[in-house]
Structure 1
Amino acid sequence: MGYSTTHFKSINPYTQEDVYEVKMHDTQETTEILQNAQEAFCNEWQDTTYEQRAKLLNAVAKQMKDNLDYYALPMTEEMGKPINEARGEVNKAALAAEHYAEFGEDYLKTEYLESDATESYVQYLPLGVTLGILPWNAPFWLAFRYLAPALMSGNTCIMKHDSHTPLCAIRIIEAFQKAGFPKNVVQNLVVGHSSLETIIRNPIVKGISLTGSSKAGTSVGAIAGSEIKPVVLELGGSDPAIILKDTQDLEKAADIITLSRYINAGQSCIAAKRIIVEEPIYEKFIELLKQRFEKLKLGDPKDETTTIGPIARKELVDQMHEQVDKSVAAGARLILGGQRYEGKGFFFPLTILADVEPGMVVSCQETFGPIAAIIKVKDEKEAIKVANDTEYGLGGSIWTGDTQKGKELAKKIVTGQVSINGIVKSDPRLPSGGVKKSGIGKELGPHGIKMFVNTQQVWVGPAKG
């Protein structure tokens, strides 16, 4: 599964049948892809207007929305995403393209600043060829989170997608081709991890975006840093969800926390992974979560009634069982799930662990599946301490009946994103990105589009007298 030394091959995690196989690019083909991206940038793309880029991005969005299942089904088949979620992801990817088509020019408008010059201003210019290294868990959304702003700012893009989702990568490129994008402005690069250092160090590549593990981020960030190239890293998370005793609607909080844990079978960096609950409502909230988890349906991801599909790969299931088993052995209380799944597909049962202590595996490691780790705290102060007791800092949420208090507590949570009385999600209109080992840089919103531009200051003389 994944890739050999010559091919990427995807396997359906529900049926274990082969889905798609593609030959990897050799050294010469890789060099040609880089050179083609450079030529497309220099000869055409950097000189297009914002209006031209916007028109093409809108065409890509329309192509995907008009052929929804053509683009959604590869996700269902290659990594087990339930079909309704897959359709939603394609639409969200289209939304990212539409958002930057509409607002990209405004985000990058020239800023005039006063100085001793007759005129002085800052303009945002494209860098050139950028490289996006992408994961399997949201193959379309995470691709467009990189592609849409990078393209709108005038860069050309090389997409190195995950070895487990090769058909998704092919379909993404098809969408750009069918929308009429100029040749080689967006390309798919099929190479293994061992080839990445040479590619990152190639002078043609001017910026690197990675969504992946903290381990991958450490490696890619070190290489990019040694070449003094801008890099955006969106890495792992162990997001806290703090439920305070003054929360007015515990039922709603339980609904949203449940959704955050089961969407994409829990395979999301920004899912609520540590549920931190104040003591007076602790047992009640456990029961509310249990009631909701018990109603969720595991099954065939192509079945429209399925809420949770299989985990992408068997080794990920085994890893989660190890995390749960070690935590139970250390004293966690098993409320629901935890048992090995008997039957077709790489499923992990919906699992709730209570009485989790900060040192336990499910608390200090990222759990990439439908596991809710519930931690009891005596007050707000302890809740913040526990929330920050992690090497990650991606997102977090606070549930409280006092919105102003929630806003004050948000300042104390060391994460790149905080939601108050709502789900942590990525939104094309708002910047997202982590701190600590969850990454550096921002994606999306007005901040994300400025990651791969030359912020050029221009001073026009003569100097003022």
Structure 2
Amino acid sequence: MAIATINPTTGETLKIFESLEDGEIAAKLELAQQTFEQYRQTSFQLRSQWLQQAANILEQEKADFAKLMTLEMGKTLKSAIAEVEKCALVCRYYAENAPNFLADVTVKTDASHSFVKYQPLGIILAVMPWNFPFWQVFRFAAPALMAGNVGLLKHASNVPQCALAIEDIINRAGFPAGAFQTLLIGAAKVADLMADERVKAATLTGSEPAGASLAAASGKQIKKTVLELGGSDPFIVLESADLEAAVSTAVTARMLNNGQSCIAAKRFIVAETIADQFEKLLLQKIQALKVGDPLAADTDLGPLATPGILQDLDKQVQIAVESGAKVLTGGYALEDRPGNFYPPTIIIDIPLDHPIAKEEFFGPVALLFRVRDIDAAIKLANDSPFGLGASAWTNNEEEKNRLIQEIEAGAVFINSMVKSDPRLPFGGIKRSGYGRELSIQGIHEFVNIKTVWVK
């Protein structure tokens, strides 16, 4: 795949970038290693000052960064601005909390003094996706840099300007040259990077095949990885739920980021007794969404990021229909305009024994299922290779407790949509990956947790 900015709204190629040569990659690796030897000795106070300045830059220039995201991957401008603001938030969170998260922890033993010490590992490789081109990077970079590590970013090939802008932000914030570098390279170069002894660990957010490939390359070198992969998150609505709130949230949870989010609600599992009403309200709200130019203030849904994503999504919908499912609205690519536009779509009557019922639809397509009770809802929710997040709606305390206890996922949100928050760990189980980002758990993923015993 070419490294290029191709406007998904118009299909126009705006800028093409040359991939780094091997010698250029080697020079960046050497700079990263040299920087680490000095950077690891810097104080938390200094790192915190730099990270706070990065937050200042993000906030001051959020309109420009947001427009860049919209031009490269098609998210609405208002959601892009919110993404930049969230990046500033995670920078401030770790700038303020990392010193406590990484402070020595005394443990009482029969030693004179025993404690746990947290130390940086070195160069961490981040392989990041296009759907949240700033947020995915900063939720890695903020804790990694505060821990004293240095970062190499291999970003998705369709958001190169975002990748370069992030490096520029970190440099302008005051971090040493080499503390965070963008590598404009193809995926084929990742295994070579992992084979380099200076690269100590890696994190990836992306598809299952990409995660499996990185895990295999890292496993050969016995190096730590954190993977955040796909999801087919259930959105369960039971009889006692506030139906209006559930439906309104369902639309946001499915259509977030033009439907291109790992933690978007994808499978709507609704109690039979309220399913007709839920379906009617959902249809009304989804049909009212405006599809159009993501730079326009009144647009609800922009284009998909690439033609390939559009084609894959459309193929999935057609397979669902061929299997016996029914399309209530949407269900076809919009060919009356340039760009990668797909309308908000609802599919019902999907055969549960068909593979399509378990797949991730990475676009504005909602799969609607009816179940008789909470037992059937939990069973269907767990009948998935994924386990990233789950949203469940009920006002029955016993049902809340069962949903929290029995749903197989890295996160369960009751009467709210699934979202990431710097204060809470984020990640999945099963084929959704392993490890955690954010919170104290996120910063502990890429440090040496050293036991110290002094007699």
Shorter-chain TM range is over 0.9
Work out which of the residue numbers 247, 259, 273 in structure 1 matches 2:252.
Answer: 259
**Counterpart in the other structure of 1:24:** 19
Partner-residue secondary structure (3-state), 1:30: helix
- Which residue of structure 1 lines up, in the alignment, with residue 267 of structure 2? 274
Name the SS for the 1:207 alignment partner.
Answer: strand
Q: Which runs of 5+ in 2 are unaligned?
A: none
The one-letter amino acid paired with 2:34 is E
CA-CA distance at 1:343 after TM superposition: 1.5
Distance of 1:129 and 1:441 partners within structure 2: 18
In structure 2, which of residues 84, 88, 105 is the aligned counterpart of residue 111 of structure 1? 105
Note if contact 1:9-1:22 (Cα within 8 Å) is conserved in structure 2: yes
**How do 1:451-462 residues align onto structure 2 when only pairs under 5 Å count?**
451-461=445-455
Note if contact 2:8-2:304 (Cα within 8 Å) is conserved in structure 1. yes
Displacement of 1:115:
1.3
Task: Tell me the SS of whatever aligns to 2:202.
Answer: strand
1:166 is aligned with what amino acid?
Answer: P
Identity %: 41
How high is the TM-score relative to the length of structure 1? 0.96
CA distance, structure 1, for counterparts of residue 170 and residue 75 of structure 2:
23
**Contact 2:374-2:399 within 8 A present in 1 as well:** no
The answer on whether the counterparts of 1:323 and 1:361 sit within 8 Å (CA) in structure 2 is no
Structure 1 Cα separation of the partners of residues 352 and 7 of structure 2: 36
Give the aligned residue type for 1:382.
A
Q: Where do 1:206-285 residues align within 5 Å?
A: 206-247=200-241, 249-285=242-278
Asked if 2 retains the 8 angstrom alpha-carbon contact of 1:327 and 1:361, the reply is no
Q: Which amino acid aligns with 1:11?
A: I
Cα distance in structure 2, aligned partners of 1:339 and 1:233: 32
What corresponds to 2:29 in structure 1?
Answer: 34
Structure 1, unaligned stretches of length 5 or more?
Answer: none
Partner of 1:196: 190
Deviation of 1:39 after TM superposition, in Å, equals: 0.4
SS of match in other structure, 1:114:
coil
Q: Secondary structure of 1:21's match?
A: strand
Counterparts of 2:275 and 2:349, CA distance in 1: 10
SS in 2 for 1:187: strand
Aligned to 1:443: 437
Give distance in 2, aligned partners of 1:195 and 1:359. 39
Q: Say whether the 8 Å CA contact 1:334–1:353 is kept in structure 2.
A: yes
Deviation at 1:359, TM superposition (A): 3.1
Partner AA of 2:96 in structure 1 = E
Q: Which moved more, 1:73-82 or 1:349-358?
A: 349-358
**Equivalent in the alignment of 1:139:** 133
User: Is 1:159–1:189's contact at 8 Å kept on the other side of the alignment?
Assistant: yes
Distance (whole Å) between structure 1 residues aligned to residue 319 and residue 12 of structure 2:
32
Specify the SS of the correspondent of 2:431.
helix
Correspondent of 2:384 among 366, 390, 404: 390
Partner of 1:333: 326
Alignment correspondent of 2:119:
125
1:85 to 79, 83, 93: 79
Identify the range of structure 1 (67-76 vs 446-455) with the bigger mean alpha-carbon deviation: 67-76
Counterpart-to-counterpart distance in 2, 1:338 and 1:435: 31
Partner of 1:399: 393
Is the 8 Å Cα contact of residues 422 and 439 (structure 2) preserved in structure 1?
yes
Whether 1:12 aligns to 2:40 is no
How far the C-alpha of 1:130 sits from its partner, in A, is 0.4
* Preserved CA contact (<8 Å) 2:310 2:333: no
Question: Secondary structure at the residue paired with 2:269?
Answer: strand
Task: Identify the residue that residue 372 of structure 1 maps to in structure 2.
Answer: 366
The residue type equivalent to 1:388 in the other structure is N
Task: Quote the Cα distance in structure 1 between the aligned partners of 2:422 and 2:354.
Answer: 35
- CA-CA distance at 1:219 after TM superposition: 1.1
Q: Does 1:310 align with 2:303?
A: yes
1:24: Cα distance to partner? 1.1
* CA deviation string 1:167-213 (max 9, x = no partner): 10111111112212111101001111111111011100011000010
> Which amino acid in the other structure matches residue 168 of structure 1?
C
Q: Which structure 2 residues correspond to residues 116-195 of structure 1 after superposition, within 5 A?
A: 116-195=110-189
Partner Cα distance (2:28, 2:435) in 1: 26
Render the CA deviation track for 1:217-256: whole Å, top value 9, x for unaligned: 1111111122111100000000011111111x10110011
Moved more, 274-283 or 354-363: 354-363
Distance in 2 between residues matched to 1:38 and 1:153, nearest whole Å: 15
Letter in 1 for 2:268: I
TM-superposed deviation, 1:390: 0.8
Give the whole-Å Cα distance in 2 for the aligned partners of 1:351 and 1:307.
Answer: 14
- 8 Å CA contact 2:79–2:257 kept in 1: the answer is yes
C-alpha distance in structure 2 between counterparts of 1:63 and 1:361, whole Å: 46
Q: Counterpart of 1:33 in structure 2: which amino acid?
A: K
Decide whether the 8 Å contact of 2:326 with 2:350 is kept in 1.
Answer: yes
The match for 1:291 is 284
The whole-number CA distance in structure 2 between the counterparts of 1:391 and 1:430 is 24
Q: So what's the TM-score if we normalise by structure 2?
A: 0.98
Q: Matched residues in 2 for 1:141 and 1:32: separation?
A: 27
* Residues 400-429 of structure 1 deviation map (CA, whole Å, 9 limit, x = unaligned): 012453133221111111100001001111
Q: What secondary structure does 2:276 align onto?
A: helix
User: What's the CA shift for 1:317?
Assistant: 1.1
Cα shift readout 1:143-168 (whole Å, capped 9, x = no counterpart): 00110111111100011111000010
Matching of residues 417-432 of structure 1 within 5 Å: 417-432=411-426
Q: For residue 26 of structure 2, what is the amino acid of its counterpart?
A: T
Distance 1:109 1:234 in 2: 27
State how far apart, in whole Å, the 2-side matches of 1:198 and 1:293 are.
46
What is the count of residue pairs matched by the alignment? 454
Q: Given that residues 358 and 389 in structure 1 are in contact (C-alpha distance below 8 angstroms), is that contact kept between their aligned partners in structure 2? A: no
CA deviation vs aligned residue, 1:19-38 (integer Å, no higher than 9, x gap): 22222111111111111111
2:352 corresponds to which of 355, 358, 366: 358
